Chains A and B, each alone.
Chain A
Amino acid sequence: MRYIPNSPEERQEMLEKIGLASADELFRSIPQDVQLNRRLNVTDALAEAEVIAAMEKFAAKNTAASKSSFLGAGVYSHFSPTIVDHLIQRSEFFTSYTPYQPEISQGTLQYIFEFQTLICQLTGMEVANASMYDGSTAMAEAFLMAQRVTRRDKIVVADTVHPEYLAVAKTYTQHGDLKMGIAAFDEGSGRVSELSQLDDETAALVIQSPNFFGCVEDLQALADQAHAVGALLIVVVTEAISLGLLKSPGACGADIVVGEGQSFGIPMSFGGPHLGLFATREKFVRNMPGRLCGVAYDKNGNRGFVLTLSTREQHIRREKATSNICTNQGLIALAATIYMETMGKKGLQDVAMQNAQKAAYAARKISEIDGIEIAFSAPKFNEFVVRTSKPAEEILNRLRGENGIIGGLPLSRYYTGRPNEFLVCVTETMKKEQIDDLVAGLNEFRF
């Protein structure tokens, strides 16, 4: 089967039409010294069967799915009911592209509206957009929004925000005039404590809760401190299931809530595609990035759905747009919507409670091992930091090799001064026996 749609004769004909001798001449405006001038370093063409064999060999290296995994740190293993995958594969949803003529796509607009409504309810906010790429880009967009709202250029970020989110935000904002300050955490509680950078030039204080170490932050107090200097509070939620149990960020005084929606029925998929959540107060709606769906009534009083406030968006406002994002994660947002609606309010509360209880059980059992302690005293949701007297990498490698358990994430990957700590996540998918196996595996070490 050929994949190149035009023949050499047709290409020659096209070149003659535009007066060129060869396709290379199409690139002559590119300076010679930046041209590659060699073949790409890829293997020769393979037969389909050979491609499949090569891919299966790669896939076989991926053992995570077949082992007990206590990895979290931004991507979470949760159960997704079959209905989610089944419904999103309906061709009306699966094959449709972003609605350029939105009002004829009432089904698409309706689920976007439902998604926004659910995100508002969970975050305690007044408006949510139709979603963004992922949690980290949503956070970066929140920085820029806070800058627009307050006309201040400084963002103070807790150093317990996911380090990869921070890296994305730095990349995203590096060519603008945004300055970043850091709010350090307290070694005892694991919560943000040092707010000396927060001043009357600060656009926003940015807090993740539960934070990267799994600790639930005191959002109300932080909101009060941010508001006292005229700054916004941006709350980052990387584990959306926590919203089923914890007091909503909106109720704690957050002005913008961003987060990752992967926990809502989306597979981990090696880190993506995932789902950016973005919600705020109605008074800031014109400064909010992204697509927004609204409900409207026609002259006969029939309900319909529309894209609204598109005047903020790039295809209308060009360089004055609030963001260069004027699309959304359509299919993934649909999956999350189906997940949330399938689970319902009580279902989400139950799942969240199971996470908290199983994690608490694991933390208690692990803390009973001699020479091991659970770091940080703040309340946790489904993740916690284990502190030992040995290098965490060594412990985790042995657990993986000898016990077939992926025991967690070594903090040394992000924090150079913390070689003996690792982050453990326990979700509802973990059975008691699996937790006990982890505890038994850790017990074999002499700390």
Chain B
Amino acid sequence: MTNIPENLRYSKDHEWVLVDGDIASIGITDYAQHSLGDVVYIDMPRAGDKFGTHEAFGSVESVKAVSEIFTPIAGEVTEVNDGLNDTPEKVNNDPYGDAWFIKMKMDNPGEADAMLSGAEYEEYLEASA
């Protein structure tokens, strides 16, 4: 059963966003980590990098493939979870907790509201299954 917390926002590319004021934490969903398999490396941007909506900001390398990860919202990277490359298995074990990839200062704090809710994301997954 795919874990989809209700307090997060989701993209159709299987990223999640946790909004705190104008800061958005971004990671990949339980569904995404399950599809990728064991994550071994994450290619991260650097603090200060700016991205528009739906730009590739890095990639996740698993034992099976390398997948791009996209920004669900526009903004500037304020923090990067560099510790993940010592413990990439966190992405598989608990994709929503410590396994956030980056924090961004959103250009438009309202942008995350337009993303999918947990219920909508679950519907989307079922529809595309």
The residues of A with any CB-CB pair to B shorter than 8 Å are 151, 286, 311, 316-317, 320
Residues of A within 8 A of B46 (CB): 151
Choose among B43, B65, B68 the residue that contacts A286 (Cβ–Cβ < 8 A). B43
- B57 on the interface (CB 8 Å rule)? no
Interchain pairs with CB closer than 8 A, number: 13
Residues of B within 8 A of A311 (CB): 61, 65-66
Instruction: Name the CB-closest residue of B to A312.
Output: B66
Instruction: Name the CB-closest residue of A to B63.
Output: A311
**Whole-angstrom distance between the alpha carbons of A311 and B43 in the complex?**
12
Q: How far is the CB of B7 from chain A (nearest CB, A)?
A: 33
Instruction: Name the CB-closest residue of B to A310.
Output: B66
Instruction: Name the CB-closest residue of B to A311.
Output: B66
Q: How far is the CB of A87 from chain B (nearest CB, A)?
A: 36
Residues of B within 8 A of A316 (CB): 65-66
Q: How far is the CB of A200 from chain B (nearest CB, A)?
A: 15
Residues of B within 8 A of A320 (CB): 59, 66, 68
Q: How far is the CB of B45 from chain A (nearest CB, A)?
A: 10
**Whole-angstrom distance between the alpha carbons of A316 and B66 in the complex?**
8
**Whole-angstrom distance between the alpha carbons of A125 and B109 in the complex?**
47
13 contacts between A and B (CB under 8 A): A151-B46, A286-B41, A286-B43, A286-B61, A311-B61, A311-B65, A311-B66, A316-B65, A316-B66, A317-B66, A320-B59, A320-B66, A320-B68
**Prevailing SS type, chain A contact patch:** helix
Instruction: Name the CB-closest residue of B to A287.
Output: B43
**Whole-angstrom distance between the alpha carbons of A320 and B60 in the complex?**
13
Closest 7 CB pairs of A and B: A311-B66, A311-B61, A317-B66, A286-B41, A316-B66, A286-B43, A311-B65
Q: How far is the CB of B94 from chain A (nearest CB, A)?
A: 24
Residues of A within 8 A of B59 (CB): 320
Instruction: Name the CB-closest residue of A to B56.
Output: A320
Add 11 more A-B contacts to A286-B43, A311-B65 (CB < 8 A).
A151-B46, A286-B41, A286-B61, A311-B61, A311-B66, A316-B65, A316-B66, A317-B66, A320-B59, A320-B66, A320-B68
Residues of A within 8 A of B68 (CB): 320
**Whole-angstrom distance between the alpha carbons of A317 and B43 in the complex?**
13
**Whole-angstrom distance between the alpha carbons of A151 and B46 in the complex?**
10
Q: How far is the CB of B10 from chain A (nearest CB, A)?
A: 25
**Whole-angstrom distance between the alpha carbons of A58 and B68 in the complex?**
55
Q: How far is the CB of A151 from chain B (nearest CB, A)?
A: 7
**Whole-angstrom distance between the alpha carbons of A70 and B59 in the complex?**
52
Q: How far is the CB of B23 from chain A (nearest CB, A)?
A: 24
Within 8 A of A (CB), among B51-107: 59, 61, 65-66, 68
Residues of B within 8 A of A286 (CB): 41, 43, 61
**Whole-angstrom distance between the alpha carbons of A316 and B65 in the complex?**
8
Q: How far is the CB of B60 from chain A (nearest CB, A)?
A: 10
Q: How far is the CB of A177 from chain B (nearest CB, A)?
A: 17
**Whole-angstrom distance between the alpha carbons of A266 and B55 in the complex?**
47
Q: How far is the CB of B19 from chain A (nearest CB, A)?
A: 29
Q: How far is the CB of B74 from chain A (nearest CB, A)?
A: 20
Within 8 A of A (CB), among B27-41: 41
**Whole-angstrom distance between the alpha carbons of A311 and B63 in the complex?**
9
Instruction: Name the CB-closest residue of A to B41.
Output: A286
**Whole-angstrom distance between the alpha carbons of A286 and B66 in the complex?**
12
Residues of B within 8 A of A151 (CB): 46
**Whole-angstrom distance between the alpha carbons of A320 and B61 in the complex?**
13
Instruction: Name the CB-closest residue of A to B59.
Output: A320
**Whole-angstrom distance between the alpha carbons of A320 and B65 in the complex?**
13
**Whole-angstrom distance between the alpha carbons of A312 and B61 in the complex?**
10
Instruction: Name the CB-closest residue of A to B49.
Output: A151
**Whole-angstrom distance between the alpha carbons of A311 and B66 in the complex?**
6
Residues of A within 8 A of B43 (CB): 286
